[in-house]
Amino acid sequence: MFNSILTLIRGRAYDAEQAFIDRNAVPLLAQQIRDAAVAIQSARRAVAIAVAQNEQEKSHYSAIVGRIADLETRAVAALQKGNDELALEAAEAIAQLEAERDASEKAQAQFNQTIGKLKATVRASEVRLQELQRGERLARATEQTQKLNVACDDKSGLATLDDAEETLARLQAYQNRCEVAASVMKEMDAASRPATIVEKLANAGFGAPLSPSADEVLTRLRERMNSAA
């Protein structure tokens, strides 16, 4: 019985832990991505340091090869002059330098192998990080959409989209009515002016015309032509 209780407690603790992780999955993912980005940056620095050290080793190797060549030339000259003692000392120095040269070659080979592996690891990690970052952006967008859906379903909270659309339609209808009323008022105001009424009466033939007609102008011109003749 006691073991069953312990098992049940562990099971509920596990369920609670998983539920907590699910509720906070997005911020947890974001922090994990930040940690991964820091680790990748550290790996980049390690690659850069390894490359720099390898370059130093190459320079050291070149210097050793140069010293060996110089000593060999001098040792040959000593042998040619019959100075075997100095030639022997040069040979001993050359042997030491050759051992150092061989060790440098091995170190460079190890550096090259390590650098190659580090670069491959960094490149693969960068690709995975980019995929995770895209996934995080999609997860955040999905989370915001889900929150919006919940807000729309909650009728007791803020106005829903349907309510907002209805309000907009009523506002537009009211504005249209205002525009029509203003247009009618403008026409009525113009029609009630005395000058407008006089113009309407004159155009209907009541009273003298307000402006000469084309026929009147033509008659006047004919009269002027006849009087001139």
pLDDT tens, position by position, 29-70? 788 888 888 888 888 898 888 889 899 999 999 999 999 999
Distances, alpha carbon 179 to alpha carbons 168, 170, 172, 190, 192, in Å = 17, 14, 11, 17, 20
pLDDT band at 2 (very low <50, low <70, confident <90, very high): low
Cα 154 versus chain centre, distance:
33
| Alpha-carbon span 41 to 48, nearest angstrom | 11
Residue 136 has pLDDT above 60, yes or no: yes
Average pLDDT across the chain, whole number = 77
Residue 159 has pLDDT above 60, yes or no: no
What pLDDT is recorded for position 192?
A: 53
What pLDDT is recorded for position 14?
A: 63
pLDDT band at 217 (very low <50, low <70, confident <90, very high): low
What pLDDT is recorded for position 101?
A: 92
| Alpha-carbon span 109 to 104, nearest angstrom | 9
| Alpha-carbon span 57 to 106, nearest angstrom | 10
**What's 128's DSSP letter?**
H
- Alpha helices (runs of H) in 81-160, residue ranges in sequence order: 84-153
What pLDDT is recorded for position 21?
A: 56
pTM score, whole prediction: 0.51
pLDDT band at 100 (very low <50, low <70, confident <90, very high): very high
Q: Considering Cα of 112, then 114, then 116, then 122, what sign does the dihedral take?
A: negative
Q: Which residue has the higher pLDDT, 170 or 18?
A: 170
User: Which tens digits make up the pLDDT trace of 13-36?
Assistant: 666 666 665 566 677 778 888 888
The backbone torsions φ and ψ at residue 153, rounded to the nearest 5 degrees and listed phi first, read: -75, -20
What pLDDT is recorded for position 102?
A: 93
Q: Considering Cα of 81, then 84, then 86, then 90, what sign does the dihedral take?
A: positive
